Every structure is written in structure tokens, then in C-alpha cells.
Structure 1
Amino acid sequence: MKREIKNQAGNTFLMLEYDPENRWLYLNWIGYQNLDNIKQGLREVWTMFRRFRFSKVLNDNRELIGPWDKANDWLQHELGPETTPVRIKHVAHVISPGIFGQLSVQDLQARLLHKIEIKLFEDINRAQDWLKTK
């Protein structure tokens, strides 16, 4: 199942696809992300989880532009096992080409260190290979 999420201007900022063979959710973040986009995207993740009950995420930031660390306080709360309806255990995160996106995910990774295993990759094939072992 594929979903395309658009912002108020009608531009696609997130593509989601559940992979039934690997039992993970693929997220492709596109362009600049603000807190509203991230909140809207996470609502879609929860909707997909209720339908498919996955515990692994392949998070692709190769098309992401700029930082998104302003959402990290909110994400830290929303992705904690005590607050989220989703029991995400493993995230293979393909980093963005820009330094600001990379710094944003490194900050989030440190915040969720004892809650979710997030491994960073520059190559999507390596990210997929790692996630298949989980």
C-alpha cells in the first residue's frame, strides 16, 4: 500500500509504502520539512501501523532539504514507547546529503538511544540489508 502526503500548497512532502515481504514501512521525505509536515506524516505512520502492525521503518532522507531538528522535542515524546501507539523497534535511516539534515537525525538518535535502535546509512541498499536482519 502506497500513500502520498501533500502539504497545504499541494506539494508532496512524504511518500509512505508498506512492504509486506519485509514487514517494514518505507518513508521517503521530500523537500523542506517543518513541524506541521512531520506531525502530519507521523499521523499517517500511526494509521499505517494500525493496519499492518510493523516494528521496522526504512526512513529515507535522500530527497530531504535542510534541517528538521525543531521537531526533535516533539518527536522524542511521540516516539517514546510509553506514548506511541506504534512499537517501532528498528529504524534504518538513510541520511540526507545536506549537513543540516544529518545533524537533525544525529540529535534525534541520541535522544532515542534507549528507546529505538536507529542506525544511519549513506546507502539505501545497506540500510535495507541491515533492516532485513532485524
Structure 2
Amino acid sequence: MRLHLMRKTVCVSIYYDSLNEWLFLDWEGELTLLDVQTACLEVANCFLIRPYPRVLNSNAQITGVSWSVAAWLATEFLPHVTLAGITHVAWVTSSSLQGRFLVQTVLNWLPGPAVTSFDDTDAAVTWLQHSRPEHATGGTPLRPPATQAKVEKAFQDFCRKVTAQVPAL
């Protein structure tokens, strides 16, 4: 992987992997709903610039997570990932039983792109590398203007909804 830091919050570092042409989300620490909502605003902001069809999402460094996070992710954030252009997600689970159960719960609720969970990063990377789109030729194409407008509106709606729930943002 050739990682370039795009954004960072207290619980996630967001990288662009220029070698594999995907977004890498590296979560860490104790995840509270407020922290995850703030982090997801930053993640969503990355998708305004351009689509990233493949995402490596790692929970390997998570030490704990609130159950409200799973419900919020499944109902408020993840249903919109296909609009952002995501087609494949490799989700590395936490080693904790609670973290694994949370991921499985979210995946059971989630329609949309191909999401596969993994116990380790190497297996996730291998799977994601094999998911490379046939048309990939060094760089992700920009969205058509009509699709970009839909993504921008969805992002604005998402921002309003999150900031209404958490006035401190």
C-alpha cells in the first residue's frame, strides 16, 4: 500500500492508497456515537471530490464501541454508500467479540455494495485487489454532473441531519 493521509479525526485516519486506488479507513480507540458521526462527516466529505469504488475499512485497532453506533451506521450512513460510488468494501473486524458482533449486525442490515468481513488486513487487501474494476486504468474517473449533484445534495442533507442531532458539531 502507498498511503496518503487525507483527513484525520479522533477515531479514524482516512488515507488514499495510490498504489491500489482505494480509500483506506483506519479506525482506532473507543468509538462513541458522536465520534463516529464526526468521522463519517469527514469520510463523506472525501467522496465529494471523487468516487472511490473500493474501500478498505479496518476496525483492527478498535478497543470498544457503543451499540448505538451500529444502528446509526446501518440506518443513517451506510445506506448511502452506493450513491457515493462504492462497489466493494473489505471490512477488517476487531479482535474483540463485541466488535465482531457489531460488524456482523451492521452487515446484516446493509443492502448495497459487496461488503465482506475479514479477520486480518492481508486477506482483506488480497480480496480487494481482486475486485479491481475491469476498466481501471490508473485513476478513478469523475462522476457525471447529474450524479455529482445528487451526491452533493445527499452530503448536505447528511450534514444537516448530523449537526441537528449533535449541536456541538
Q: Give the structure-2-normalised TM-score.
A: 0.68
Q: For 2:90, what is the secondary structure of its paired residue?
A: strand
User: Is residue 51–residue 86 contact of structure 2 (8 Å, CA) maintained in 1?
Assistant: no
How far the C-alpha of 1:84 sits from its partner, in A, is 6.9
1:125 and 2:114 correspond: no
Residue of structure 1 aligned with 2:63, choices 58, 65, 68: 65
Which sections of structure 1, spanning at least 5 residues, go unmatched?
A: 7-12
CA distance in 2, matches of 1:89, 1:76: 17
Match of 2:79? 80
Cα separation, partners in 2 of 1:104 and 1:98, compared to 1, 3 Å: same
Which sections of structure 2, spanning at least 5 residues, go unmatched?
A: 132-169
Residue of structure 2 aligned with 1:5, choices 9, 14, 18: 9
Match of 2:87? 89
Q: CA RMSD in A?
A: 1.8
TM superposition outliers: structure 1 runs of 4+ over 6 Å: none
Q: Which structure has more helix as a fraction of its residues?
A: 2
1:109 and 2:107 correspond: yes
Counterpart mapping for 1:15-94 below 5 A: 15-77=13-75, 78-81=77-80, 85-94=83-92
Cα separation, partners in 2 of 1:97 and 1:22, compared to 1, 3 Å: same
Number of aligned residue pairs: 126
Q: Give the structure-1-normalised TM-score.
A: 0.84
